[in-house]
Structure 1
Amino acid sequence: MEHKFLNLKIYSLELKKTNKIGLIDTHCHIFYDKYKNDISEVVNRAKKEKVNKIICVGIDIETSKKSIKLSEKFESIFATVGFHPHESKNATNNYLDTIRSLLETPKVVAVGEIGLDYYYKHTDKKQQIKVFREQLELAKDLNLPVVIHNRESDNDLYDNIKNSKISKGVIHCFSSDVNFANKLFELGLIISFTGIITFSKELQEVVKEIPLSKIMIETDSPYLTPVPFRGKRNEPYMVNEIAKKIAEIKNISFDEVVNTTTNNAKKLFKF
């Protein structure tokens, strides 16, 4: 069976030549059943590839609890708690009390994944906005950062963030343009890139224009697997590919990308 892992071993040796500070996968969903049978191996592979911290992001009450359980089991995993816009239709009258309670758990670092999604029609806009606003206010009340989802909702998303006066957070899986990114930076937010930048020419142009000081990196596992692993299950260790691509696009060293994006994450999530 040794030959199956030959490429991974070579890949690991190459990274160890440069990556000394360690990476952070700032956004993944490894609570899903597709990781159930080998979650320890997933975490160990990440550690071997110098991914020292992993943030497992909840999308509703159940998955937020699963993320917390993973954070309790593995030293390198941290959790977030929140209602994703797709799931906001299931936010009951007392959901905020439950979220508030879960946010008090050790190793929970943010309110999220929250936001707006106008591409899919899982939940009507009015309900999405209501739940988004309520969670923004909760985060502000608890002085916690937010992890925000945005798809085809730039204007409403921006208006609600601005009105909430939230200034600590990240727009994950950023896919908008440079002008919108700059508007977010004016509010104090930063953005995060996924494996999409390894194959999207349009988004690569955005990366080129964005200051590294405003960037974090993530896998969004199990989704958005980066090149050269397209077609395979995404995992936290693959965040290395996002860092490598940013270094290539900006013509800077891999170490500079690692150091800056890791420090950006540490500053936001305070770990």
Structure 2
Amino acid sequence: MLKIIDAHIHLDHYNNQEIKDIIERDSSLEALISVSFDLDSSKKNRELAKIYSKVKPAFGYHPEQTPPTDNQMEELFSWIKSNQSDMVAVGEVGLPYYLRKEQKLTTLQQSQYIDLLEAFIKLSKELEKPIILHAVYEDAPIVCDLLERYSVSKAHFHWFKGDSKTIQRMAENGYYISFTPDVLYEEEIQQLVQPYPLQQIMVETDGPWPFEGPFTGKMTHPSMMKESIKTIAEIKKIPIDEVYHHVLYNTKSFFFI
């Protein structure tokens, strides 16, 4: 049986029955990288990992929200360091692209997010853990600058969108990207598949985020990634089994699972 790993899911945002269904419904699902939104989310993902061996948690602070206070940041970083053996990566962290589009952030506010991300990048370096990034469009070069500054190469840009120059830079630096089910119907995403090295590609759901096209009205489930893999194989014009093999190997080796 061809196995799959969800490289990026917010499992703690599903209810208990949905979580049970996700874990047990598809026997081809080998693991899930469950990313965290904040400290409470990190704690919940840690507990889910104790219940379900397939859950591999990442601890972090999602950037599309108000930055943590100094005390909150200190508490989160202290907790992550104390529980580093329970996590496979630092994440989800990054820059607030969509929040910035909705609200006019001051220069000071934007610098706060960059400082927070820099602290997380330094933490991933210190703990020798991969980092899972939310960084799209014009935010991506800023993140690349920080990663290069601290010589962090184990970087995963989830649901990435960006220009060709940044894509080439990321590929040359050995960074990984992952595709969501919208690769089936979003031309912008499809155009990323061909140039990016297969050896640096993973698949994800970003669940419970909902999708359109053939997935309209359906609960986001890791089984959707099988259609993503099929589409990647078609775009790259290579056998689907080869894509399954590389994507599985990439994800396991990246997260050391």
Q: TM-score, normalised by structure 1?
A: 0.85
Question: Any idea what the Cα deviations from partners look like across 1:196-233, whole Å, max 9, x if unmatched?
Answer: 21111122122122121111110110114364212222
In the other structure, the counterpart of 2:254 is 268
Q: Secondary structure at the match of 2:92?
A: strand
1:225 aligns with 2:211: yes
Check the 8 A contact 1:64/1:82 in 2, yes or no. Answer: yes
Q: Paired residue for 1:147?
A: 132
Separation in 2 of the partners of 1:177 and 1:252? 25
Is the Cα contact below 8 Å between 1:194 and 1:224 reproduced in 2? no
Alignment of 1:47-62 (within 5 A): 47=27, 50-62=28-40
Residues paired across the two proteins, number: 247
Preserved contact between residue 62 and residue 92 of structure 2 (Cα < 8 Å): yes
Q: How does 1:51-130 map to 2 (within 5 A)?
A: 51-87=29-65, 89-93=67-71, 94=74, 95-105=76-86, 108-121=87-100, 124-130=109-115
Does the aligned pair in 2 maintain the 1:194–1:219 contact within 8 Å? yes
Q: Distance in 2 between matches of 1:151 and 1:59?
A: 18
Q: Cα RMSD between the aligned structures? A: 1.8
Q: Do the aligned partners of 2:8 and 2:158 also contact (CA within 8 Å) in 1? A: yes
**Structure 2: 5+ residue runs without aligned partners?**
none
Tell me the residue number matched to 1:10.
Answer: none
What residue is the counterpart of 1:6 in the other structure? Answer: none
Contact 1:28 1:54 in 2 (8 A): yes
Cα distance, 1:88 vs. partner? 5.7
One-letter code of the match for 1:209?
P
Kept in 1, the 8 Å contact 2:181–2:205? The answer is yes
CA contact (8 A) 2:141 2:166 kept: no
- Check conservation: 1:71, 1:78, Cα contact below 8 A: yes
- Give SS of 2:194's match: helix
In the TM superposition, 1:249-260 aligns within 5 A as 249-260=235-246
SS in 2 for 1:126: helix
Percent of aligned pairs with the same amino acid: 32
Question: Structure 2: how far apart are the matches of 1:224 and 1:178?
Answer: 27
Structure 1 residue runs of 5 or longer lacking an equivalent are: 1-19
- SS in structure 1 of the partner of residue 134 of structure 2: strand
Q: Shift in Å at residue 117 of structure 1?
A: 2.1
The answer to whether residue 229 in structure 2 is matched with residue 247 in structure 1 is: no
Tell me the residue number matched to 2:120: 135
Report the equivalent of 1:46.
26
What secondary structure does 1:174 align onto?
A: coil
- Residues 87-135 of structure 1, C-alpha deviations (whole Å, 9 max, x = no match): 4612533132122223232xx1000001112231377311111110001
Q: Distance in 2 between matches of 1:85 and 1:270?
A: 25
Cα drift, residue 151 of structure 1: 2.9
Question: Aligned partner of 1:149: which letter?
Answer: H
Relative distance call for 1:231 and 1:170 in structure 2 (3 A) is: same
In 2: Cα distance, 1:212 partner to 1:59 partner: 29
Provide the rounded CA distance (Å) in 1 between the counterparts of 2:128 and 2:8.
20
Alpha-carbon distance between aligned partners in 1 of 2:67 and 2:135, rounded to the nearest angstrom: 17
SS at 1:119 equivalent: helix
Partner-residue secondary structure (3-state), 1:24:
strand
CA distance 1:101–1:227, shift in 2 (3 Å)? farther
